[in-house]
Every structure is written in structure tokens, then in C-alpha cells.
Amino acid sequence: MDHVKLVNDPIDIAHIHQLLADEGCGASSVFVGTTRDNFQGKKVLSLAYEAYDSMALKEMNKICSDLRSKWLDLKHIVIYHRLGTVPVCEASVVIAASSPHRSEALESVSFAIDQLKTRVPIWKKEIYEGDNDGEWKENKESIRPKKSKSGFNYAACPCKVEESHDVPRTLVQIRVNDAELTKRLECFVNRKRDEINSQNVIDFKSSFVSSDKDLSDSCARTQSTIIKQEQSNCHLKVRRVNNRCGPQQMEMRPNYELELNKLMGSRDGQTDPIKEMRKSLPNSRLQAIESYMGLTTDNEENIFSRIKRVENRLLQLESISPEYRHFTKREPSSMEAAPPKKIRKKSYSAQELSAFIQKIKDGSEFS
């Protein structure tokens, strides 16, 4: 039978002998580990043991199983370990075994104590004379990894690492100082705020105002129109929305200014101001600016609208980086017709032509 236990009181050796007693056993081997009074020239007053109880008992039972697999004639096995403070000359661990012959008992106990020190998670604290704190120690036979006492001297390492914070100039795309970069960030925030404000005015602001004061002191939140739906507790009208206008449908809106300019220009059948504008010097200069800024030139559009687009483009480039002006050209509108795809004619070899002619001849002869 296996007797495994962790105790906090002194171990009774007489009780251990009672556990080993058996009529069929002719030998009993008992190992008793006690606390000695010195360690490396220091006077030891006592030892304090701590353990991971569940894991320690599990490992101690495994040791008993290993003993029985190696020595089949073992009758009783006892493994007792004391926890807490153990004074000098008192037993801290007792391992015993009984068997019909002495060889199995002696060899099994010797094997068990080595396995106990190696595998069971039990730690001891040595209390020295004049040192109340003591020192925690692990069994030197333990297979758990230990920290190295001698640290590695990194200063003596001959390895040299060259650190360079210089980036090749060819890899730098934006070469500006901190002040210019801060200015661009501020312009970007301001431009986005203006876009949101103007869009809110278009989408939400009511057109019914009583005076100029209302115009200056109003905003989209206070002027927005709310319609309550009948037989509903919600203050908003709930319906499926088809976004025909709004920030997502900017390109879908009709160009009212362009249509108005066409009507105003062709009125009375007189000279077309658009044609005159095409021939003017300002128009050619404006075309050059639009081309440089990556904008699409539309001569039929009002010149003031085109100038406004150039101003918006400048504000956009200020808010990002002018270095990217060639990479931020606006995409063509989804309303515009896609350019026709170029179809490459297939080239036939002489053998293919001969085969094709032969098929025609065979078909004519068949018909």
C-alpha cells in the first residue's frame, strides 16, 4: 500500500514502522532526512519548507508507481514530507519501503529519495544565525531550469553595429521642414471643415429666413427641417432613402451652372460669349493652369466656375503635399462615357491562310 502525505507537524517515526509492518516482509528500509545546524560555514537555526501541494502529491504518487514497476515485490511504500518550520535535528522527510528481501527495500528507498529531490516542487528557506530574512533554495538535483549566476558581459562583446539615421535622399519624397508640414496639416483640417459645412448647408439648411441676422447666426442644426411621421413615436420620418443628393452623390448632380450659361450665351441669337472666351488670352492661360494642376479642361463651363475649381485644387494641394500633384489627378466622372477600347487585329501566318483557303475550296466543291 502507498502512504503519501504532506504534514505540518513533526513526523512520528514509530507510526511509520507501523505502516510498514507486514507478515510477508522480511526487510524494511527507512530513510529519515533531518535539519543540520550548518551550511557552508554558516550556523543554521531552522528550515522552512513550502510546496505546491496538489502538484507535489501528484508527483509523489508517480514516484510510488515507478517504484512498483521497477521492484515488483514491494509491499508498502511511505513518503512523508514536512512543511513549515523544521528546527535542527527534527525530521523533514521520511521515505520507507518494505519487501520480502532487503535488496529491493534498500534500492527502492535510494531511488525514491533521488526522485523526490529531482521532481517534487518543494522549496526550503534556510534561517541563519543573525539573519532573520534567510534564503530560499531549491534542491540542487531539481531538473527545473535555474538562473545563471554569471551574467553575460555585453560590454566585452566585440560585435560592432553601425547605426545610421541618415536616409538616402532618393527615398525622401517630401522635403519640408516642421513648420511647413504643420501648415499643411492645418490647411487639410480647414479644407475638410469647409467641405462639411458647405455640404451641410446644401443638404439640411432651410431656405426660409426672415432677415440677414438669421443668416449670420444660423446653422444647419438649428435650421434643419423635422417631419414627424403619422402614428409613430419617432420624431423623424422613417423611410427608405435613395441618396440622389449628398456627399456620396456629388457626381450625380446635374450641372445647373453649365446649363444656365448655355442658355444665357445663346439668348437672342447673338454672338456666343463662349466662343469669344475660347479665343481670349485669359482662357489659354487658364487652360495651362488647369493642365498643370491635373484638372479636366471644359471650355463650355463658366470661367468663374473654372477659377473656383483651380482655387479648390490649390487648397487641396496645400492640405496634402504638392509633391503628389501628379499622383492625385481626379478620376473621370462615372457619368462620362468610357473611352473605346483598342482592338488589336489578329495576324495570320501563311499556313493558317492556306488552311483557311483550302476550307473555302472544299466547301464550294461540296456545295
Q: At what angle do helices 303-319 and 281-293 cross, to 10 degrees?
A: 30
pLDDT at 270: 54
User: What would the grid cell of residue 354 be?
Assistant: 492556306
Ranges of H-type helices in 1-72: 13-20, 53-70
Let me know: does 39 contact 90? Beta carbons within 8 Å: no
Nearest CA among 217, 183, 173, 223 for reference residue 202: 223
pLDDT at 321: 64
**Helix, strand, coil tally for the chain in percent (to 5):** 45, 15, 40
pTM comes to 0.39
Nearest CA among 306, 261, 302, 257 for reference residue 286: 306
pLDDT at 335: 47
b/e burial code for range 288-325 (CB count within 10 A of at least 16 → b): ebbeebebeeeeebbbeebeebbeebeebbbbbbeeee
Q: Which residue numbers in the chain have pLDDT < 50?
A: 209-212, 268, 328-329, 331, 333-335, 365-367
pLDDT at 156: 63
- 3-state SS, residue 62: helix
Domain ranges of the chain: 2-138, 175-207+250-328
State how far the Cα of 112 lies from the Cα of 81, in Å rounded to an integer. Answer: 13
The CATH number of 2-138 is: 3.90.1170.40
Helix (H) or strand (E) holding 34: strand 27-34
Angle ∠(344,348,353) on CA atoms, nearest 5: 145
pLDDT at 137: 64
pLDDT at 130: 72
Give the CA distances from residue 348 to residues 232, 345, 354, 358, in Å, rounded to whole numbers and listed in that order: 73, 10, 10, 15
pLDDT at 147: 53
Residues annotated in a binding site for substrate: 101-102, 117, 124-126
Let me know: does 24 contact 75? Beta carbons within 8 Å: yes
Phi then psi for 265, rounded to 5 degrees?
Answer: -75, -35
Q: Residue 345, exposed/middle/buried by CB under 10 A (0-12, 13-18, 19+)?
A: exposed
Half-sphere exposure for 77 (CA within 13 Å, toward CB): 26
